[in-house]
Structure 1
Amino acid sequence: MSNANYYQGLAKSMMFTIVLVSFTPLLVIALITGYQYSVSYKEKVEAHLRELVLKHDQSVDSYLEEKVAEIQVLAEVVGGDRLKAEAEITSLHNALVRSHGSDFVDLGIVNADGIQVAYAGPYELLGADYSDAEWFKSVRQRKVFVSDVIFGLRGVPHFIVALLIDVGGQEWVLKATLDFIAINNLVEDIRIGETGLAFIINRDGEFQTTPRRDMTAEVPLLKRMLADSSNRSILGRGRAAITMTDDPASGREMLYVTSPLKGGDWFMVYQQDAGDAYSALSRIRNLGLVVLLLGAIGIAVMAYLMARRMARKVEEADQEKEMMNDQVVEAGKLASVGELAAGIAHEINNPVAIMVEEAGWIQDLLDEGLDRDDNEREVQRALSQIRSQGSRCREITHKLLSFARKIDPTVERLCVNELIREMATFCEQRAKYANVRIETSLVDAVPQVEASPSEMQQVLLNLINNAIDAMDPGGGQLDIMSRVEDGHVVVSISDTGCGIPKANLQRIFDPFFTTKPVGKGTGLGLSIIYGIINKMDGEISVNSVVNKGTVFTIRLPAASDGVRCATGMEPGGADSPAEEK
C-alpha cells in the first residue's frame, strides 16, 4: 500500500470513528426521546378521544333518560284515565312540542292487546296494532323500554320510549315516538380531523344513526369488536375501549373508540384513520428526522474535515519522524565508519609504505644511472609495484566513500550474497585486530530481494560490528550464512561471544537500550536495524545463550518473479585473518 493510500485509509478510519462516536449518542437520544414522546402523545390523543366519546355518550344517555323521565312524570301527574281521552292526549302532545320542539313526534295509549286506543300526532295511527312489535313485548317485561331505531308502520326512522302503566287494574302502555334526527345530530357533532366520524350501533350490528359514509364492509369487524369487548368485561357506564386495527374497506390502520349506551344495548363508536389521528405526531417525527439528518450531515462534514486535518498532521509527523530516522541511521553509519577507522588506516598504511619504499629504491637506482646492470628493468618493476599498491588504496577508499555516502532509501533488486561478501571484506581488518575469524557460507543462486542497498549495508555492518564487539578482546568465530526458506531469503549472523542475558532479549530492539559501557554504544543500532527490516516486510529474530554466543536471523521476502542471483565464488580472504606487515 502506498503512503497516499495509507493516509487516505487512516482519514477514512478516523472519520468513521468520529461519526460513530458522535452520531451514536445523538441517534440513541433521538430514538429514546422519540419513543417516549410517541407513547405520551398517543396516550394524550387516546385520552382526549375517550373523553370526547364519553361526553357524547353521556349526552345521548342523558337525552334518553330525560325523555323517559318526562314520560314517567306525565303518566304520574295526568293519570291513565285522562290519557285515554283524545282531547287530553292531544293537549299534552302540543305542550311537549312547545317545550321540546320536534323531539316528541307523537303520543299514544296502547291497551293490553296491543291496540292503540288514543293517539296524538301527525300520522293516522289510531287503532294501530302493535301486538307483534318487539318494543311492545319488551315493555311488558321491563316496565320501561327504549327501542332501537325502527321504521315501523310510518316508514321513517324513529325510536320509541314506552312506559307500562296501571289503569283501573289493567296494564296499558304509554308510547312516545322520538325524532331520530335529534340523536343523529348529537352523534354527528363528533368530528375530528378529516376522517373522524361517529355513529351508534346495536349489538346486532344495526346502525342507530346514519354514518357519513357507507359502513357496510365494516359491520362484521364492528360486531366482532363489540363481542370481544363484552367478553373482556371492560365496557360499562363511564368506560371507553380503544382498538387499533386495519379497516376492511380501505386497508388502512384505523382507530376505534367504543362506549356502551342504553345499558349496553347500544354502542357509541368513533372511527378515525390512525394517520389522521396522529397527524401531529407524524409532523413532529418528520421534523425530528430532518433535524437528525441535518445533524448527521453536520457531524459527517466536521468528521471529514477533522479526519483530513488529523491525517495531514499524522503524515507531517511521520515525515518528520522519517527524516529523524534517516538522520539517526546516517549517524549510526558514520559511527560504524569511525569504528572501522583503525582497520581502514592499517589497510591503507601497508600499500602506502610499499609505495614509499619503492619510490626510494627508484631514487637510488636513478642516482646510480639507468645504464648500469639491470637498473632500468628494476625501475620498471618498482613503478609497476607503486601502480599496483595505488590501485589497492584507491579501491579501499572507494569502498569507504561508497559506504559512508548518505543513506539512499531507494528500493531496487539486489543480491544479498554480494552485500554479505562486501561487508565481510570491509570488516576484515577490524576483525583481525579483535582476533575474530569471519567465515561465510552462502547458498548458490539465492533469489533477489527488493530492498535499499545502503540500508542493507547498514543492517549487515551493524550486526557484524556488534558480533565483533561481543567477542572482543578474547576473539572467536563469526559465521555468516544465507539460505532459502518458504519463499524467503534467510541470513543468519552467529558469534561465539559473551551472549545476551535472557532478561535483556525482550528489550534489545528498544531505542537507546544498550549493554555496552558508557560512551561506547548509543543503543540505536539494533533499533535502526529493526525499523529497516520491518519496512522491507521482513522479520528479525535473535537467539542467545550467555557465554556461548548469539545468532541473529533475518528473513526477507524474495522478489515476486523469483529471479535468482548469478552463482559466485566465496571470497577466500574473509576466511582467515591476515598477518600484519
Structure 2
Amino acid sequence: MSLNFKIKPKFWDYRDVAAGPYKNMFNLRCIWYLSVLLTAGAALAPVFFLAAIDYQVTQKAIESENMLRLSRLVSNARRTLSFFLVERRSALEFLARDNSFESLSDQDRLLNILRNLQKSFGGFTDLGLIDASGRQINYIGPYDLASADYSGQKWFEEVKAQGSHTSDVFLGLRRSPHMVLAVYRDTGGDRSFILRATIEAENIHQKLVHMETGTASDLFVVNRNGVLQTQSRFFGGVLEKMTLSVPEGTDSTKVFETRGRKGETLFVSYAYIEETPFILMAIKDKDEMMRPWFKARAQITTYLLISVAVILLVVLAVATYLISRIHAADQKRVTALHHVEYTNKLASIGRLAAGVAHEINNPLAIINEKAGLITDLLSPQPESELRSRLIKQTEVISASVKRCAAITRRLLGFARHMDLSVEDVNLKETIESVLSFLKNEAHHRAINININVNSDIPVFKSDRGKLQQIFLNLINNAFAALEDGGDLTFEARRISEESIMVSVIDDGCGIPPEDLKRVFEPFFSTRTKKGGTGLGLSITYGLVQEIGGSIEVTSQVGEGTRFDIVLPLTPEKKDETH
C-alpha cells in the first residue's frame, strides 16, 4: 500500500455537512488520534516487556549458543578425522584383497602402491608387508624396518583376531610419534599376511589446527587413558598426560563445564571416534566466550529505541492511510448518491425503449400482413413486368419487417433472455442486403464498395439478423471515417474446416494507437461531438461473441482501419439447463 501522505492529510479539516445528528461518527481527526494511541499502546507494550525479558535471558542464550557452537565444532572435527582414518583403512583393505602375498612381496610393486597412496590420499609415511608369523617381509619407507619382528606385540594378535587395527599414537622402534593402521588377509595358509601403514601424529594435528577458532580455543585428541595424541594449547605436547579427567564414554557429542588449572571456567566438548582408541576434545575459556554479552546489551538498547521509532512511524502511517481510505470511501458514498439519480434516469429510458419496441411490433405486424395480402392478390394475375416488380417489392417489405422485428426483439432482450435464431446464411447475399440500405449514401458520397467473397465459403448456419446488425454497425463506422470518394472493401475467406474470416477494410482517417485498445468499450467514442454514442462497436463486439465468433481491429492513422471477424460455420450449442 502507498504511504505517501502529505504532512496534513485531506481528512484533517474534513466536516461532513450531510451527517446530521451523526456528525461525531465522521470526526475523522478524532478517530485518527484514538487509533494512533490505541495501536501504539498495543504495539509498544509487548516490545518493552520482551526487551526486559530478553535483557535477562540473553546472557544464558549466548552461553547456550557458544556451547552449541563448541559441540558443532567437535562434531564436524570428529566426522573429518573419522573420515580421514576410515578412508585410509579402506584403501588398505582394498589393496589387501586386490593383491596377493607374492605381488606385495615385490619391492617395486609395493613402492608403486605407496606412491599412489601418498598421491591419492596423503598422510601415509610408510607401508609394510608382514607374514603370518609377524616378520616384516617387505617394507617401503624412510626407516630401517625391513626385518622388524612384530610377533610379540599386542596389536599383531589383535589385527589377526579382528581383521583390522587402529593404534594409539606411540614412539615405537622409530622413536617418532605415529599411529598404525593395519589390515589382515586370511588366505587359509602360510600366505596369510598383514598390510601395515603408519601415519605421523603431526598429520592428525594439522587436520585439527585448520578447524580451531580463536586463540582461546583448544582442539586436540587423547586416548582412553587421557594421554595426548596431538599437541594441546592448554595441556602440553604429544604423549603427555592430560590434567583433566577422561570423560565417560558416549555415542554422541557432549558438552560440560569444568575448572582449569588456574581456576578459570572452561567449556569442554568431546566425542569418541568410532573404531579407534581416540577421544576428540575441544576446550574454550568461558570468560572469553561471553565477551559478546557486553555488545549484546548495547544492541538490545539500540534495538529497543529503533523498534519504538519504527513502530511509531508505522502506526502513524497506517492510521493515516486507513483514515484516508475512510475519507475516500465517504467521498465515494456521496458520489454514489448522485449516480443513483442518473441511473434511475437511464432505467426510465430503458423502459421507454422497451415500450417503444413493443409498440412498433404492432404496426410491423400490420405491414407484414398487408404485404402478404398484396402478394396473394397478385398471385392469380397473369405474368407481367409490373406484377414481377410488385411481388419483389413485397418481398423486400417482408424482409425489412423481419429485420425490424429482430431489432425490436433485441431491445426487448435487455429485460429477458432470447435464444439464437439460427438459419441458413449466404454470406455474400447478407452483405449485399445490408449495403442495399446504404447505397444511396454511398452513391451520393462516391464511396466505392467492393465485395470479395471466396467461392469456397458455403452456406452456413448462423443468426442472420445479428450478422446484418454487425455488418451495419461496421459499415456505419466506416462511412463516418471515410472521406468522399473513399474505398470500403469486404473480404471473406475460409481459414479452417470450421470457420471463416470476414474483413471490413476502409481507407479512412484511422484510429490513434491510444484509442485502439478502447474501441470496444461501452460509451467510448471519438465522435461524441458529431452525434456518436460510443455503443456501436461495443454492441458489435457483443453480437459477435453471441454467435460464437471473435473480432479484432488494426488501424493506422491516415491509412485506414481493418476489422477481422472470425465466424464459425456451425453455431455453438447452448446449455439450456437453468
TM-score, normalising length from structure 2? 0.41
Report which of the two structures shows the higher radius of gyration computed on alpha carbons.
Answer: 1
TM-score, normalising length from structure 1? 0.41
